[in-house]
Homo-oligomer: A and B are copies of this chain.
């Protein structure tokens, strides 16, 4: 069904994905016994190169897929048959009734990472709809205390601080209760300015309330940060394109720490299909890393982005399918729960 040129391109990409070595005409016939000669393949390769689907690393090297080649592969050439193993594994995880959202995402991502050999990532972004749901204080020892903030999306932040002996725990509790009453329901981004306005009132409750005020102010600020979790970082470092070069290993580690990297994921992706996006190379000014990602909506919690990150030479086929399956299964699960028929 595929014409000869497409078929050769498909083989080259799949071979390169597997071996990480440039693919030559001879290698191809030796490994796939094709009904034509190496010379024919050479001719086709030349045409594929002219069209920008393949590249050479040097004049007498084999061919390597270009970004355009990968894109064409994903859109037209990849196998779309479902691998039921991923689906089965995910269902097993998700059908445990006693799962928390944290565990569901964690275990799903770990499975995805394991089965695709890619890094998986969950990015929980702050929407403007996130508000403070609760502010509480738990006394710790004689003159220290833990304050806990919870949002209506289930995000939790806590800090422990010391206070002066001459502050009465009673006053402190009343003060926190007051703040709780006044701040609950405030959107996360509005918390800091609102807290500023409340400063004078704090001093009505506690003579020397500055420590308390500053502590709460600081902690409220961190509530607004996006949360990021990654699984299987070592998968990327183990890829041959990185594992042999200390410089590149360091680069990848830096990348994982860099905040711009995560923004890139949700912003500059090249849209492909449904809610799944693929970005081939060009991640954070690097051309050797690709990302497949999808948005999922968790009822009550909000929108999260789940991504698989790997070398540009990743198995897009498998990655795409894995993400697709995860999104399907999660949505199915959440729908089930919302209907209350579990």
Contact = CB atoms under 8 A, between A and B. Distances in A.
A253 B154 CA distance: 32
A193 interface: no
B210 A98 contact: yes
Contacts of A249: 246, 249-250
A260 to B, nearest CB: 17
Contacts of A98: 161, 210-211, 214-215, 218
Contacts of A143: 300, 337-338, 340
Contact of A160 (B140, B148, B154): B154
Interface in A204-248: 210-211, 214-215, 218-219, 233-234, 237-238, 243-246
A245 B249 CA distance: 10
A56 interface: no
A4 interface: no
A146 B215 CA distance: 24
A342 interface: yes
Contacts of A154: 138, 140, 144, 146, 158, 160
Interface stretch (A27-35, A38-46, A100-108): A100-108
Size category of the A interface is: 35 or more
A301 interface: yes
Nearest to A163: B337
Nearest to A333: B162
Contacts of A142: 299-300, 338
Contact of A146 (B150, B162, B245, B342): B150
A140 B301 contact: yes
A101 B162 contact: yes
A159 interface: yes
Contacts of A153: 140
A108 to B, nearest CB: 15
Interface of A: 97-103, 133-134, 136, 138, 140-144, 146, 148, 150, 152-154, 156, 158-162, 164-166, 210-211, 214-215, 218-219, 233-234, 237-238, 243-246, 249-250, 253-254, 299-301, 337-340, 342
